Amino acid sequence: MSSLNLDDFTDLIERPDGGVRRDAEAHRESRLVPPGALGRLDELGEWLAAAQSSVPVRAIERPRAVLFAGDHGIAALGVSARPAGGAARLVRDVLDGAGPVAILARGAGVPVRVIDMALDCDPGSLPAEVVRHRVRRGSGRIDIEDALTEEEAEAAFRAGMAVADEEADAGTDLIVLGDLSVGGTTAAAVLVAALCGTDASVVTGRGGQAIDDLAWMRKCAAIRDALRRARPVLGDQLRLLATVGGADLTAMTGFLLQCAVRKTPVILDGVVSAACALVGQRIAFRAPDWWLAGQNSGEPGQAKALDRMALEPLLDHGVTVGEGTGALLALPLVRAAASLAAELPERPADVTDVTEAANATDSLEPAAPADPE
């Protein structure tokens, strides 16, 4: 289909350093607080150490939220609570500092980068830095036509790779990934259903702003029809993204894979980023080792995708707004894990001796009483 060889990612992506992770476990066992007492924070600290190839872990100093934006033609069927072609409004809210992710990012000191891949608006209405990677104006209606041409799919995928390289070259040490889309959860559900071999009803959720029952039925029908078009191209992941994905989802997939190549950890947000990650796993099976699931969005498609990748969400607060908000909420937890792994003091030798002595005493059987004669 294209000059882009996705098989290369299998060779280019290595797992986080297992030897460093074992060193991190040994380092943790020597700390003052007993291993396991910090729960999942211990696991996160060890994962970060392996990802950074560093013991002790370095603090997360240069995180960035990266949001891919696009409109989806399938939204014209009334499958979203937002109006078709309305993703530009979401982008403007973020750029103006009014969107939920912008507010949280400002409080956390995290810069936000928005990349327009297929917004249905005049590109002149947005900053040049936002629109410079745009592939087309809106993605096709995937129940009856392809989301992208083959050339557009390759351009979008390469754009995502380029953004990942730009972030790695700039020293970004952790990515919070999200999307700004209308109709994106429908396309994501199609990808998940196709890759997991499930029916439309199993993956159809109610989106970022919960739709009513009639809209849910329309969404389910749209996913069913798009799924029929997706199944014949399952063997070619780029063609699958061109058929039923969209420019933003295609770019996110390229971005995720290139982040894994560049050893840049990523926190996933909701069903859209999870679906892209699932496509990425199909391309390069080691890639999910570089990703964290930030939150449980409640979307059934997200749960299906994360289960397939063996990723467990860090948070479950019922956040459905999308836009990277849930993933950004998980960032303080990751930062806390890094701080604890790096700064917990070593357990003093006398504490070790006392603990070992107590354990030895506990293990002794009491002497049997003498037989009275």
Cα gap 152→167, rounded to integer Å = 23
Cα gap 240→249, rounded to integer Å = 11
Residue 305 phi/psi, 5-degree rounding, is -65, -45
Catalytic residues: 323
Q: C-alpha distances in angstroms, 97 versus 108, 165, 179, 248, 332?
A: 13, 26, 16, 22, 20
Residues 6+ apart with CB under 8 A from 148: 135, 136, 139, 140, 156, 241, 242, 245, 246, 247, 250
Report which of 209, 264, 222, 199 is spatially closest to residue 52, judged by C-alpha positions. Answer: 264
Query: Beta-strand (E) ranges in the chain?
Result: 63-71, 112-118, 174-182, 266-268, 291-293
Sheet containing 112-118: order of strands: 112-118, 63-71, 174-182, 266-268, 291-293
Q: Give 39: exposed, middle or buried? Use CB within 10 Å, 0-12, 13-18, 19+.
A: exposed
Q: What is the DSSP string of 307-356?
A: HHHT---SB-S-----TTHHHHHHHHHHHHHHHHHHHPPBPPHHHHHHHH
Cα gap 231→245, rounded to integer Å = 13
Cα gap 371→373, rounded to integer Å = 6
> Which pairs count as long-range contacts for 19-22, CB under 8 Å and 24+ apart, including other chains?
20/49, 20/50, 20/53, 20/54, 20/55, 21/46, 21/47, 21/49, 21/50
